[in-house]
Amino acid sequence: MEKEFNKKVVLITGAGSGIGRAAAIAFAREGASVAVADITEAGGRETVALIEADGGSARFFKVNVTQAAEVEGLVRQIVETWGRLDITLNNAGVDNDMAPITETAEADFDRVIAVNLKGVWLCMKYAIAQMEKQGGGVVINTASALSITVVPGASPYNASKHAVAGLTKTCAVEYGKKNIRINAICPGVIRTPLLEKHPNLPALEAQLIPLHPIGRLGEVDEVANVVLWLASDKASFVHGALVTVDGGWTAM
Ligand SMILES: NC(=O)c1ccc[n+]([C@@H]2O[C@H](COP(=O)([O-])OP(=O)(O)OC[C@H]3O[C@@H](n4cnc5c(N)ncnc54)[C@H](O)[C@@H]3O)[C@@H](O)[C@H]2O)c1
């Protein structure tokens, strides 16, 4: 049977870890050629190795998504390698240091906005330009439940993810008629290596689980499944949407 993403070229930023890695492995398993892009070389190369061990096709691209020249170069290299770019998951992101706004450092605000907002803006700008040239594509941004609701102590992160929601909707309106489908996923708290490494995981979980009416945290594969569905033709009329994958958090 033909695999769902055979001959498709997929770019995933932040694919060296967590949600990005899970999506990269899932796309490769379905036949895609995956550009694994990350600022962290070790994590990115490990993702490629995992995909290749699984019989899939991937290549690592080192990129800092906050730098326009690097993102432009990334898209150019992908097209040089595979001839096109069909799907992009703009997923690289960072957390802020938790503090109320009066105690939040300007540098922390700048760092979070640079990666989570400017990084997504740059990736959209250069990926969409390529998709326009080739006559279509699919863009998915990793937003957050914190694109819809907020947690106190996270003013830079909340603001960056609310802005990604606005960016997603703006570009969906701009590019819908050009056969470029653009959506965002809004995950709740997902078990990623970062969370697993927390020194007091049980206490943290006791705080976070009650945010989710489903009664548990999410797994990376549960997010990857939604990304693949959104990227597929099964979601052909889903456009400009903020798709929650949050165990009901934002329903509360
Ligand atoms: N894990 C969660 O609970 C959760 C919930 C909602 C949204 N998200 C969002 O999902 C996305 C992925 O998060 P994750 O939990 O998998 O995190 P993660 O830390 O496991 O992975 C993020 C990856 O992004 C990379 N990265 C960071 N800055 C970069 C830069 N400037 N250029 C290129 N790559 C860079 C990191 O090296 C890392 O590999 C983020 O946008 C995050 O905000 C995560």
CATH of the domain at 143: 3.40.50.720
Closest C-alpha residue for ligand 1 atom 43: 93
CA 75 to chain centre: 16
If one residue of 13, 21, 39 were mutated to test the ligand 1 pocket, choosing by the most ligand atoms within 8 A of its CB, it would be 39
Domain that holds residue 169: 9-247
Closest C-alpha residue for ligand 1 atom 38: 14
pTM across the whole model: 0.98
Task: Compute, in angstroms, the gap from residue 238 CA to the centroid of ligand 1.
Answer: 24
Cβ of residue 44 lying under 6 Å from some atom of ligand 1: no
pLDDT tens across 88-131, in order?
999 999 999 999 999 999 999 999 999 999 999 999 999 999 99
Domain count, the chain: 1
Closest C-alpha residue for ligand 1 atom 7: 144
| Alpha-carbon span 67 to 9, nearest angstrom | 22
Please report, rounded to a whole number, the percentage of residues in the chain having pLDDT higher than 70. Answer: 100
Q: Is residue 193 part of a domain?
A: yes
Task: Compute, in angstroms, the gap from residue 175 CA to the centroid of ligand 1.
Answer: 26
pLDDT tens across 149-188, in order?
999 999 999 999 999 999 999 999 999 999 999 999 999 9
Q: Is residue 186 part of a domain?
A: yes
Nearest C-alpha neighbor of 5 from the set 67, 44, 47, 57: 57
Cβ of residue 40 lying under 6 Å from some atom of ligand 1: yes
Task: Compute, in angstroms, the gap from residue 14 CA to the centroid of ligand 1.
Answer: 6
Residue 215 burial (10 A CB sphere; 0-12, 13-18, 19+): exposed
Q: Is residue 206 part of a domain?
A: yes
| Alpha-carbon span 13 to 8, nearest angstrom | 16
Q: Is residue 2 part of a domain?
A: no
Residue 87 pLDDT class (50, 70, 90 cuts): very high
If one residue of 41, 61, 89, 94 were mutated to test the ligand 1 pocket, choosing by the most ligand atoms within 8 A of its CB, it would be 94
Q: Is residue 99 part of a domain?
A: yes
Closest C-alpha residue for ligand 1 atom 1: 190
Closest C-alpha residue for ligand 1 atom 30: 64
Cβ of residue 38 lying under 6 Å from some atom of ligand 1: yes
Q: Is residue 187 part of a domain?
A: yes
| Alpha-carbon span 110 to 54, nearest angstrom | 39
**Cα distances (Å, whole numbers) of residue 139 to 9, 16, 77, 160, 173:** 12, 19, 18, 18, 13
Contact 109, 156 (CB under 8 A): yes
Contact 33, 238 (CB under 8 A): no
Catalytic residues, by residue number, are: 157
Q: Is residue 113 part of a domain?
A: yes
Cβ of residue 63 lying under 6 Å from some atom of ligand 1: yes
Contact 36, 62 (CB under 8 A): no
Q: Is residue 3 part of a domain?
A: no
Task: Compute, in angstroms, the gap from residue 97 CA to the centroid of ligand 1.
Answer: 15
Cβ of residue 14 lying under 6 Å from some atom of ligand 1: yes
Contact 45, 30 (CB under 8 A): no
Beta-bridged to residue 133, according to DSSP, are: none
Nearest C-alpha neighbor of 178 from the set 123, 134, 126, 241: 134
Please give the full DSSP string across 124-176, using - where no structure is assigned. HHHHHHHHHHHT-EEEEEE--GGGTS--TTBHHHHHHHHHHHHHHHHHHHHHG
Contact 126, 75 (CB under 8 A): yes
Tell whether the model's pLDDT for residue 194 goes beyond 80.
no
Cβ of residue 247 lying under 6 Å from some atom of ligand 1: no
Mean pLDDT of 237-247: 98
pLDDT of residue 178: 98
